[in-house]
Structure 1
Amino acid sequence: MSELSPSSEPAILRRAVSDAENRAASRRWWDTDADGYQEAHGSFLGDVDLVWCPEGLREEDARLLGKVKGARVLEIGCGAAAGSRWLDGQGADVTALDLSDGMLRHAKLAAERSGVYVPLVQADALALPFRDGTFDIAHTAFGAVPFITDTAALMREVFRVLRPGGAWVFATYHPMRWIFLDEPGETGLMAVNCYFDRRPYVEQDAAGVPTYVEQHRTFGDRVRELAAAGFVLCDVVEPEWPKGHEEIWGQWSPMRGRLFPGTAIFVARRPDAS
């Protein structure tokens, strides 16, 4: 869920939103929140690193993407593109994509700080501006997937731009998080929401215009979306909260992290042509 400033008092509810409302809210939110997000989390994510989740799992250790040297890699919802810059250093041919101009502005600033430049593309994840079979690997760490109304269409679009045998790895909120209150403390241990309620979490302004939208899918939904798109699901990683990690990130906290997972990382592959 979003991290609100003390002065923010939006209406918060669960309700249906149109695809147009959802896209507009996501773009406005991330354009407006880019500075605050990077100030809060930029040091944790780094300028040249692929950190999958608030638990701190790093691709350097997990190697979920497999062999990346020489691979054409697309990062969807790249934010400040730290992951793409790290992959560039591993010998990958990287393209970083995001809907938000504000986040891509930070990607440019981080490139200047680090001296690592990768191609940046501003585009909608549901209309990837690439030919079929362009990439060997596609990935995202909490980009796009939690914020798109039709994630089944996203899976199909990623499948389209991957070559046969290509990998699709995405980190998103663990589906079971939906049943708990969005708090890092003890109140966040109370199960109050229906796991099967797929209406999105919506924050809206006084005029009823959505300002932030987050979508929920069950574990079964995710598996069916991947299968329907043609992917083979290879693994689901549920990172454990590491000892000594005391940083609180939104609803992620050491207390909650010791009891149940906050992140699910789906590792899938487009089947080989054979």
Structure 2
Amino acid sequence: MFTPEGPSLRELAVQALSSVERGYDLLAPKFDHTPFRTPDRVLEAVAKALTPLGPFEDGLDLCCGTGAGTGVLAQVCRHSVTGVDFSAGMLEIARRQPPPDGPDITYVRADARALPFGPGFDLVVSFGAFGHFLPRELPGLFGQVHAVLRPGGAFAFPVLAPPRPSSPGYWMLLGFDAVMRVRNALWRPPFVMYYRAFRLGAVLAELARAGFSVELSALPEFGERGDGSPRARLVVARRGQPAAGTVNS
């Protein structure tokens, strides 16, 4: 799962015993050589699905890490792309990446739970970051995204179908989450990363409570499960347009 350029077992242990921010600062130089980076096929599928929903002017990559998702935004946004993350180390690596052709790209260090922006974006995306937020934090997180979108803007992110209990992947993720809960019960500072805490039904309900209208579409590149349901979906949550005769704040 790790390339030879990836972190050693010792480095991973040090990172796992750090805070989330410090752990990613340490991991940043080798992050793109780990399985934690969003695979290119996911990024390409999302870009393909977003293209007919545009055009978009200004995009925000929420919890951008080393900048993999900003390439998606660069394909579908015409004016500007902003990446935001709270790890200075990850942002340093992102800024070193060759900029793709297209809009201007800026990286900003900030906490996704307290975004330093007004309603200046038409599209917000996020890839692989939601495991770092506890379920009780989702209302505040989604409220922040809603606040930085212009009326009619979209919040989009991919979700993968959870593995079946009969598959090795199910038990691997269950075991990982169990180990992290024990670690956080015994060690401070906590490292919040839970793969099974981001449940689609609860997420859709919280998005609706935050004021979004939500649509789901299959990402056909990943095929279907045995019951015919898609293996991967794109969630597109829209901020509503203000009613006629009202002034948007």
Does the pair score TM above 0.5?
yes
CA displacement at 1:96 relative to structure 2: 1.0
Counterpart of 1:208? 187
Q: TM-score, normalization: structure 2?
A: 0.72
Q: Residues 126-156 of structure 1, C-alpha deviation per residue, up to 9 Å, x if partnerless?
A: 100012x22111111113x221120121111
Tell me the amino acid that sits aligned with residue 218 of structure 2: V
Counterpart of 1:18? none
Q: Residue 73 of structure 2: SS of its match in structure 1?
A: helix
Tell me the amino acid that sits aligned with residue 28 of structure 2: A
Counterpart of 1:72? 58
CA contact (8 A) 2:213 2:237 kept: yes
Q: Quote the Cα distance in structure 2 between the aligned partners of 1:226 and 1:199.
A: 27
- Answer 1 or 2: higher relative contact order, Cα 8 Å, separation at least 6: 1
CA contact (8 A) 2:61 2:84 kept: yes
Q: Residue 213 of structure 1: SS of its match in structure 2?
A: coil
Q: Quote the Cα distance in structure 2 between the aligned partners of 1:206 and 1:189.
A: 23
Does structure 1 residue 139 correspond to structure 2 residue 125? yes
Mean alpha-carbon deviation: is it higher for 153-162 or for 163-172? 163-172
CA displacement at 1:33 relative to structure 2: 1.6
Counterpart of 1:29? 23
Q: Residue 232 of structure 1: SS of its match in structure 2?
A: strand
Change (3 A) 1:65 1:221: farther
Change (3 A) 1:136 1:52: farther
CA displacement at 1:233 relative to structure 2: 0.6
Counterpart of 1:120? 107
Counterpart of 1:265? 234
CA displacement at 1:258 relative to structure 2: 6.7
Matches within 5 A, 1:215-230: 216-230=197-211
Does structure 1 residue 87 correspond to structure 2 residue 73? yes
Q: Quote the Cα distance in structure 2 between the aligned partners of 1:65 and 1:203.
A: 45
Counterpart of 2:45? 58
CA displacement at 1:180 relative to structure 2: 4.9
CA displacement at 1:219 relative to structure 2: 2.1
Counterpart of 1:165? 152
Change (3 A) 1:44 1:99: closer
Q: Quote the Cα distance in structure 2 between the aligned partners of 1:52 and 1:270.
A: 28
Change (3 A) 1:236 1:88: closer
Change (3 A) 1:52 1:137: farther
Among 139, 144, 148, the residue aligned to 2:133: 148
Change (3 A) 1:96 1:152: same
Q: Quote the Cα distance in structure 1 between the aligned partners of 2:165 and 2:148.
A: 36
Number of corresponding residues: 228
Q: Quote the Cα distance in structure 2 between the aligned partners of 1:6 and 1:226.
A: 38
Q: Residue 168 of structure 1: SS of its match in structure 2?
A: strand
Tell me the amino acid that sits aligned with residue 214 of structure 1: Y
What is the aligned-residue identity percentage? Answer: 25
Q: Quote the Cα distance in structure 2 between the aligned partners of 1:200 and 1:170.
A: 27
State the superposition RMSD in angstroms: 4.1
Q: Residue 82 of structure 1: SS of its match in structure 2?
A: coil
Q: Quote the Cα distance in structure 2 between the aligned partners of 1:236 and 1:207.
A: 41
Q: Residues 11-41 of structure 1, C-alpha deviation per residue, up to 9 Å, x if partnerless?
A: x9xxxxxxxxxxx832122212222221236
Tell me the amino acid that sits aligned with residue 80 of structure 1: T
Change (3 A) 1:153 1:42: closer
Q: Which runs of 5+ in 2 are unaligned?
A: 244-249
Q: Residues 165-199 of structure 1, C-alpha deviation per residue, up to 9 Å, x if partnerless?
A: 1101023454x34x759xxxx63365995xxxx99
Q: Which has the higher helix share?
A: 2
